[in-house]
Amino acid sequence: MPTSAHRRACSILLLASLFGFLALPWCAAEPPLVCTGGMGSFTAQLVGGITVSIGAEHSGGFARRGCQARFSWDGRQLPIATSAADIDADALGIDLGVGVPVAAFQIRSSARDPLMRYEIYTLKKPPRLLRTLTGSDTYSAADADLDGRIEIWAADAGVFNGLDGLRLSAFDFAPPVVLRFEHQQLLDVSAEFQAEYDQRIAGLRTQLTPGGMEAFRTSDGRLDVIPPEKLHIYREMLQTKIKVLEIVACYLWSGRDAEAAKALDELWPAGDRERIHAALINARAHGIHTQVDAVSAGATGTRHHTFVYDPLPTKERAGQGATLWGPAGLMLPLIEASDHAAVVRVDTAAIPIQLSRPEPTDARAVPAMAPDTMMKLLLDAAGKVREAYMKGAPDPGLIAATSSWKFIPAYKENKPVAAWMELSVSLQQ
């Protein structure tokens, strides 16, 4: 499951040189955005000759602290947003299954607003606003299972903020919602990704402690008034309550009401189960669920992986005898390709939109002339990183940071496609 909502945006910028076939993309902080408080900019020409521009808002020739975005084509312009606190290009030139390429933007009107809106525009002259989604603090279009269909991953943050008196910041995450366009309708397809929800549930269960569970289950569930004999364990009780709410929400939001009720029977105080179950059902009913046209009952049949374009034979890509480092520091011996291996090139290479990486623990230890780091990335047709590997010594922070990287995807025969690419990354002040 994409985890861009939980990646830290603390970074010094990197910049990357593309080579190879070009001959030369759940921590509790927001991912890097293209423009925040008037800082940051991006401009690119998209399919059909439409240009998108994001950057600081100007007044009288001076930059302001707000952000703006617009389309331009044939001497014409269409504002996307003005005077916004944050604007992010989540996806550009992708195929959401609506018949035309689209561009999708995350927009936060005010710095005090924890939520964003998600605007999807068609990229056919003139651009047209297709859909606006609200209620989430982050959105990400991605083909997470590489089956050739792009989903929009959101979080029902609006209805979780204030749930049972808890602020959104108290939770590790709001319940994920997975959306997909089919036959011009927007579907809630969260039930098709129950395995991803189960991974979160399993992780949350490992964080429940026997002491916290015993104290919480013998409480009133609300934790408004704590008996003096339990004050010493109040913080652990509160954390237990939060984890249990997240577990039950994962079952509910992935279409498993019976499992949610069973989890409440197991984990929640008996006298309060009916009340909290009703509160959760009401939250789900009034969240992002109200914005969809239909709900998928769950996955059917076997998923088929999409074709991934590989522009270079393996040994040409990374050098003979190289060792690649992947997630969790896993060392992967490079599989050599023969001299006659097929090369399936894309017509247009992926273009970076927003890349960042954590600052080294000790930036002073980075040599002034430190060599670039070669990375091997698998990008889906939404321009999101599905796999990342690097050559040389492992850098877990760099590998983790790639989960929030965004690219205009590669194109083949005028269609966005999944493809491998190479990136040479260097730290720059």
pLDDT tens figures, 327-384: 444 444 333 333 334 457 888 999 999 888 776 655 555 555 556 778 889 999 999 9
- For the chain, the C-alpha Rg in angstroms (whole number) is 23
Close Cβ partners of 62 (under 8 Å, ≥ 6 residues apart): none
Query: What percentage of the chain reaches a pLDDT higher than 90?
Result: 64
CB 174 within 8 A of CB 168: yes
Amino acid at 351: I
Q: H/E element holding 258?
A: helix 257-267
User: From CA 410, how far away is CA 210, in angstroms rounded?
Assistant: 50
Q: Which residue has the tokens 């339990």?
A: 230
Mean pLDDT, rounded, for 196-206: 96
For residues 310 and 83, which has the higher predicted lDDT (pLDDT)?
83
Query: What 3-state DSSP class applies to 222?
Result: coil
Band (pLDDT 50/70/90 cuts) for residue 300 is low
Q: What pLDDT, on the 0 to 100 scale, is given for residue 395?
A: 77
Residue 413 region, left (φ>0) first, then alpha (ψ -120 to 50), else beta?
A: left
Q: What pLDDT, on the 0 to 100 scale, is given for residue 62?
A: 60
* DSSP output for 320-384: TT-EEE-GGG-EEEPPPPPTT------SB--EEEE--EEPPTTGGGS-TTPPPEEEEEEE-TTSB
Other Cβ atoms closer than 10 A to 201: 20
Mean pLDDT, rounded, for 183-210: 95
Q: In the predicted model, is pLDDT for residue 117 greater than 60?
A: yes
Residue 387's alpha-carbon distances to 9, 208, 418, in angstroms, are 20, 31, 11
Band (pLDDT 50/70/90 cuts) for residue 16 is very low
pTM more than 0.75? yes
Q: In the predicted model, is pLDDT for residue 35 greater than 80?
A: yes
Close Cβ partners of 226 (under 8 Å, ≥ 6 residues apart): 219, 234, 237
Close Cβ partners of 218 (under 8 Å, ≥ 6 residues apart): 269
Q: 219-250 as b/e, with b when 16 or more CB fall inside 10 Å?
A: bebebeebeeeeeebeebbbbbbbbbbbbbbb
pLDDT digits (tens, 9 = 90+) for 40-68: 999 999 988 999 999 999 876 566 689 99
Amino acid at 135: G
Query: What 3-state DSSP class applies to 136?
Result: strand
User: From CA 396, how far away is CA 403, in angstroms rounded?
Assistant: 12
pLDDT digits (tens, 9 = 90+) for 258-267: 999 999 999 9
User: From CA 384, how far away is CA 242, in angstroms rounded?
Assistant: 30
User: From CA 150, how far away is CA 135, in angstroms rounded?
Assistant: 20
User: From CA 384, how far away is CA 140, in angstroms rounded?
Assistant: 9
User: From CA 283, how far away is CA 136, in angstroms rounded?
Assistant: 13
Ranking 174-188, 304-318, 340-354, 390-404 by mean pLDDT, the lowest is: 304-318
Q: What pLDDT, on the 0 to 100 scale, is given for residue 336?
A: 36
Query: What 3-state DSSP class applies to 376?
Result: strand
